[in-house]
Each structure stands twice: as structure tokens, then as C-alpha cells.
Structure 1
Amino acid sequence: MRQFILATAVSLFATMAGAFEVEDERVFGNGPGPEIAVLSTTDTAFFAPLIEAFLVGRPNLRLRYVVASSQEVYRAIHDEGAAFDLVISSAMDLQMKLANDGFAASYASDAVARLPGWARWRDRLFGFALEPVVLLASRRAMVGLEMPRTRRDLIDLLRAHPARFNGRIGTYDPHVSGAGYLFATQDARQTDAFWRLAEVMGRLNARLYCCSGEMINDLVAGDITLAYNVVGSYALSRVKDAPDIVVIEPEDFTVALLRTGFVPVGAGQGALGGALLDFMLSPRGRGLMDTAAGLPPLDQSLLQPYLRPIRLDPGLLVYLDRIKRENFLAEWDAAMTQP
């Protein structure tokens, strides 16, 4: 049987009927001018240096930064028509669906025009950071064992030491996490070994999580030994303060996601939302993303040969088809409930 762990949303976005679940909300600046509203899956602590630098030259502005899960971001825009000026998410497939379904406004600027073709979709959806999806391990808990370098290594390790890893593996629950569903479907498209790994994790009572941060917290606390498919920026930000954590980019392949943003149709301050996007793509913004926020900038020349960037194109919509999604999740559930 699987164990299920969900982070509790800390608040509700009270200004909206329907109340999509909000994990964090903070207002930056106190100027008398317009307020920019940003909806994002990126933790406030990661994005705060960018926002503060953006507002330095715009002291008359305020910026309301709202954090929600990728599924809730999608629901807020698609189902509730929530009013935001920039929407940022790590769930590329859900972002592509919103853009493809007409929720993203046309936006043009010199900054987005300089993006490579693989990092933009038409004039609607734009990538601003590229980061790997990684495996994490605890050095203490892995004493005497060799760190896995590929999925085959990981499968063999788990099969050889079931008692040691029973109940001590963490991964996303694709039922509740849009990013987790994206990573799982991308893994499945790359290799059949994904389903063998899922079956082994299921037999070992893998713990299922809503988000990377919760997995990392439990890894640091010693509650789990391995965390599979963790967003790289969150992992690397914790390594500095948690030397027990080992970050592994699987060498058979490592999926790399694009964090994307778009200006919603009907945004009240769409031009300012676009200005923030431009700042994120500027040399100053890219530098801050890399050094302060820990979000790797878009630079294909730095990619390792085993990195597989997820393409920003309508192919992302394949697994959002209702029947395909139901079938995929049914297969996942079957793997996770192995006797």
C-alpha cells in the first residue's frame, strides 16, 4: 500500500469566489501606483530577489505575488478567470494548454524576440529558466551502497535491498501535482524502464508527495532515503545547508523542464506583467535567477549530453487528453499498489 503526503495550503485567495488554494501570498513595494498581480508555482523565497530588483527602478509600483500548485494555477485561470498580469508555472503541459485554449495574450518585445525557438511558442508562451529534474539521496542512509547513476542502477539497488528502502522512497503523486504528472509522462515517453521503476517503488511502499519541497524536507529529516524526480533548483538550494544530500542527474537521461510565463488575456496591468517578464529575460534578471534565485538561465551551450529538454510545443497536450490521462493514472495506480 502506498503512503500519501500532502502539504496543506496555508490560505485561500479570499478576493475570489471559488477560492483556488493558495500556498503563499506576499505584497512587495508600497508605492501609490498600480499593483501588478503575479500567479506562480515558484516559491516566494526563490523569486523575491528578482521582484525586489525589478521594483528598484519602479518605486511607484506594488507587486502581489501569489504562489499555488500547478494544478491550482491552471484552475485559477482556466476555470475561475482569476485576474493576474503574469502567470508562471513549471508545469509546461498545463501552461501550453492554457495558451493553446486562448487564455494567453499576444505579447511582443525585444527580450522575447531574442529567445530561441525551442523556448517560446508563437507570441503567447515564453520560457525563462531551464532546469533538470533530479534524483536525491541521503549519504548517511546510503552508507555501504553505491549511488545509482541510471534508472537501471536504481531499479537494481531497490530490488537488492528491499528491507532497507521499504517506505523510504519519495516521489510526486501525479494525481495532485501537475509538474509530477508532466515528469512521469515524460519519463514514460523516454523509456519503458520507468514502469519497472514505478512497480518496484510501489512494492516498497513509496511515499507520494505534492511538491519537491516536502520531499526534500523529509529527506533532510531522515524520514526517506531517496527522492525521485525532484525539481533541480529546489534541490540545489538546499544542498548548501544540507551536506548529507546528494544530487544525481541520471546519466541514461535527465529530463529538463522549462519554467514558462505568459500574460493572460484581459490582464489589467498586462504591459507591466510583460515588463516583469522582460526583466526576467534581461542580463540583469538572468544573472539574479542564476545566483540569487538558483534558477538556471536558458543557455543550451551549457547542457550536458544526457539532458533532454522538454520541447515547448503542442506535443505537451497529448497526455492531457482525458482518456490518455485516465489510462496513464490507472497504470500508475496499478504500479503503486503492488502486493
Structure 2
Amino acid sequence: MRHPILSLILILIASAASAFEIEDHAVFGDEGGAERIRILSTADIGFFEPMITSYLSERSGIAIDYTVAGSTDVMRAIYEENAPFDLVISSAMDLQTKLANDGRALQHVPPASVSLPEWAVWNNMVFAFTQEPAAVVISKADFEGQPIPSTRQELIAALRRAPEQFRGRIGTYDIRSSGLGYLFATQDARTSETFWRLTEVIGALGAQLYCCSSEMIDDVESGKLAIAYNVLGSYAAGRGENENFATILLSDFTTVMLRTVLIPSTSQRPQIAADFIDHMLLQTYGEGVSPLADAVPRGPVEDAALHRIRLGPGLLVFLDQFKSRRFLSEWENAIVQ
């Protein structure tokens, strides 16, 4: 059960005690129980709550304290502040890999009953439990009677045909502050030079920069934005059929993020944290059906166009300070015009 008033109090207490910014907070399960798992996550409460509910339905005497923060704040909390969380869930695969690579995560070996794909685990520390594509969300009203773009080239053409219609009404991540946005941008740039041409066109039309997918989708739904680029398709799909917006998986290539979980070295309850991971992996790769399955969109995109980001040290390339500064400088020159 969630308790909004208690959650608000806990947010205020936690914010005062920590430098990282907390976006949301909730407590589930038996608050008077003997055990409490503290989870720090980039996933919205509404998105992840089904997994928490499925876990607690099989266990008693456990409470789950769930804190939501942006990906860079999640990194800061563990890497710089040594915050005592038991699980860290993030959409920023590169930052999760860095935590593990730099000794900030504990190893865990899942049970034999979990048929874990090779691509879903790195060094028995970082575990993937969803595959979520980066999508384009468009306002149906703005594209009424017009062809729906299915590639980045077609999206560029649509913007150039009617620049005044889209001026100031295109949203994308501010990759200077969003770890997931930075990950998507660097992966797009590695895949195709079209990314930079599209970024320049969006920038010339006065792109609106956001921290989060949810806010972009809200603004497309309200009509403030006509297009949101590289949002989490799972958040759009989680809203079900919508009369105001459509979700597109681009067919030239669609970047697929793996949402991952790890046990930070600061965990005070690593055994219970490991049990939660095992439950998640069993639901995802075992005989069960993941409670999050319905939130992951599926579209008419050929498998060859799906570019799953690989876990591993290759993700650390763009975290190098020199490469990061150079990439951000090029992005700023393109997007901030």
C-alpha cells in the first residue's frame, strides 16, 4: 500500500539529508515488517509498481522503500555520496556499467532456473530486465492528412516542408543533464550520421529540451509539442491507446535500451536485494510473464533495424571526460542555435 502523506514527509527528510534531487517516493508492503528494501530508480513509480506488487504478493513482512531520481542523480547518490540503497535501477546503461566497473556494485549469481541471455548480464553485477526502444511520439493533429515519417530522413523532410508549423514545438532530451538522453544520443551518433543532420534541423527550429520522457509525452498529448524525439517508448505504450498522440519506432534504426539493476556496494541488505533481482529475472526470463511486458511497445520494425545497446566496457567510451566534452560541444553547436 502506498501512503502519499508519509511519502511526502520522507521525501522532505531525504532531500535535506542528500545532495541528489529526489523526484518521487513511495513505500509499499508491510511498513511495520522486519525488513525494508531501499530502491533508488530512474523508473517512474507507475511503471515499476507492477513488479513491486508481484514481488510482495509472494512474501510477507517486507516493505519496499522506492525513490525516483534522474539518472545523473542516481549516479551521484551512489558514486559520490555512498547513499545506502539496496538496489539501483537505471535506464542509463553506461552509468550502471561505470558503477560496476569502478567497484561500486556487488556480484550476484542468479539461480539455475533463470535462463539468462548472454546479452542481459555483465560480470554478474549488472542485469537487464527490460528491452525498451527509443521512440518518436507525434501529435496526431499535427500530422492529420500527412504521411507519417518512418525514418529519420522522412522526419527531416517533414520538418523542412512546414518549418513554421513545428518551430518551437519539437522536444528532445537535454543530454547535458539527462544520462539516458546522453546514452541515446551517443548511440544514435555511432549508428548513423543522419543523427547529426536531424539534430541540426531540430536545433534550427528551436528545440525544447527536457529532462524526462514523461514530460515530453505530456506536452505532445496537450498539443504544446508536435514531436518528441528519442523518448522511452515504454512510457508512451504504458498510457495505452491515445487519441492525441502516436508512437513511432523508426525503421532505419531503432535504438533499444536495456533497463538494468545492480546491488550497490553500499547495500545493507544484499541478500534480500539479491532475492528481489532473482524474482525480476525469473519473471523476465523464466516461466513467468513479466508484469512490465505490457509496457514495452512492439511495432512494425524489422529485427535488423533494432539496435540493442550492448552491456559492457564499450559503454564507457563516451564517459571519458575528453570524449564527453567534445560530444557535448558538438551537440550544443547543433541543437542550441
Normalised by the size of structure 1, how large is the TM-score?
0.90
Corresponding residue for 1:321?
A: 320
SS of residue paired to 1:287: coil
Matches within 5 A, 1:167-316: 167-240=168-241, 242-283=242-283, 286-291=289-294, 294-295=295-296, 304-316=303-315
SS of residue paired to 1:130: strand
Stretches of structure 2 lacking an aligned partner (at least 5 in a row): 1-9
How far apart, in 1, do the equivalents of 2:323 and 2:141 lie?
40
Stretches of structure 1 lacking an aligned partner (at least 5 in a row): 1-9
Corresponding residue for 1:122?
A: 123
1:173-198 CA-to-partner distances (Å, cap 9, x unmatched) read 00110000000000000011111101
How far apart, in 1, do the equivalents of 2:73 and 2:228 lie?
23
Size of the alignment, in residue pairs?
A: 322
Corresponding residue for 2:68?
A: 67
SS of residue paired to 1:175: coil
How far apart, in 1, do the equivalents of 2:121 and 2:113 lie?
8
Corresponding residue for 2:333?
A: 334
After TM superposition, the runs of 4+ consecutive aligned structure 1 residues lying more than 4 A away are: 10-13
Closer, same or farther: CA 119–200 of 1 in aligned 2, 3 Å: same
1:4-53 CA-to-partner distances (Å, cap 9, x unmatched) read xxxxxx95562774431111111111242111101111111111121122
How far apart, in 2, do the equivalents of 1:199 and 1:112 lie?
49
Structure 1 residue 111: Cα displacement: 6.0
How far apart, in 1, do the equivalents of 2:94 and 2:39 lie?
19
How far apart, in 2, do the equivalents of 1:15 and 1:210 lie?
19
How far apart, in 2, do the equivalents of 1:303 and 1:86 lie?
34
Corresponding residue for 1:27?
A: 27
What percentage of aligned pairs have identical amino acids? 47
Matches within 5 A, 1:38-57: 38-57=39-58
Closer, same or farther: CA 66–89 of 1 in aligned 2, 3 Å: same
How far apart, in 2, do the equivalents of 1:25 and 1:112 lie?
33
Letter in 2 for 1:318: V
Letter in 2 for 1:257: M
SS of residue paired to 1:81: coil
Closer, same or farther: CA 265–21 of 1 in aligned 2, 3 Å: same
SS of residue paired to 2:218: helix
Corresponding residue for 1:96?
A: 97
Asked if the contact 2:107/2:125 (under 8 Å) is kept, the reply is yes
1:189-245 CA-to-partner distances (Å, cap 9, x unmatched) read 0011111101100100010000000000000010010110010110111242x2221
SS of residue paired to 1:51: helix
Normalised by the size of structure 2, how large is the TM-score?
0.91
1:66-85 CA-to-partner distances (Å, cap 9, x unmatched) read 11010010000000000011
SS of residue paired to 1:32: coil
